[in-house]
Structure 1
Amino acid sequence: MMDVRQEDRRPFPGLGTDPQSVRTRIETMERLLEHIVTIPGTNQKIGLDVILDLVPIAGSTAAAALGAYMAWEARNLGMSKWQVARMAGNIGVDWLFGLIPWVGAIPDLLFKSNTRNLRIIKRHLDKHHANTATIEAKLR
């Protein structure tokens, strides 16, 4: 058998339950849902959330389920019921708009519920787990 060193058995980064790992996961999820593709000829970015909204009913529901994952992570961080309820409201509004076939993707371009929810979670993390804060720069 092969000899596996101790440092080679480390878990994947971001799989822990510590606040920094949670922050990494939710930032990645938000990027996937809101910012993976730039619309040609514009600076507007879209993500899986908008793309899924093009599939009537099932797409919007799948996007809401992915967004609910962020709220679940927030609940596990110990965020208040009010904060988690606000996040659920954002997800619900996004889901309702997405139920309108094809046209529902347009409000999603403007509302970006997952970005709003990420802001709520980051505010909590910055206040209660300051060591997870990161410096963010806007790239041109």
Structure 2
Amino acid sequence: MVTDNELSNATPKQRAAVRRTRTVARILDESVRVPGTNFRFGVDPLVGILPVSGDTAVAVLSFYIVFEAVRLGVPPKTLAMMGLNIAADVVVGSIPILGTLFDAVWKANVRNVALLEEQIEKSE
């Protein structure tokens, strides 16, 4: 992820949106560190254990990042890439056991925040 200093030319609205999306991504993808390692996972693989409803609930939360990107005028191509990240997370995440492991490493939300930050950098 980009540091706040690297977004120094971003508007206050953009910086606020990035902070909000980073928070969502951290909760869903990186809120818990595995002791003795640098590996982190979030709520996504835990909620994803629930068949269908878990992955659906996480997908709805994941689309918040896309919503923020739309509000900031991110190009349709990037929005499509964000949607594909979420779709992969939902489809593969729906597979019992393998899906939970995939959710722990794929980190669609962190990827989507990185795409958002990249677009903000380009617009500066």
List gaps (5 residues or longer) in structure 1.
Answer: 1-16, 131-140
Q: CA deviation at 1:110?
A: 2.2
Q: Does 1:92 align with 2:80?
A: no
Root-mean-square deviation (Å): 1.4
Counterpart of 1:127 in structure 2: which amino acid?
K
Counterpart among 36, 47, 62 of residue 57 in structure 2:
62
List gaps (5 residues or longer) in structure 2.
Answer: 1-11
What is residue 107 of structure 2 aligned with on the other side? 112
CA distance in 2, matches of 1:113, 1:90: 5
CA distance in 1, matches of 2:51, 2:35: 24
Q: Which of the pair has the greater relative contact order for Cα pairs under 8 Å at 6+ separation? A: 2
CA distance in 2, matches of 1:57, 1:39: 26
CA distance in 1, matches of 2:91, 2:28: 17
Identity of aligned residues (%): 33
* Preserved contact between residue 30 and residue 40 of structure 2 (Cα < 8 Å): yes
* Preserved contact between residue 89 and residue 103 of structure 2 (Cα < 8 Å): yes
Larger Rg, first or second structure (1 or 2): 1
List, as ranges, runs of 4+ consecutive aligned residues in structure 1 with deviation greater than 3 Å.
none
Secondary structure, aligned partner of 1:79: coil
Equivalenced residues, count = 113
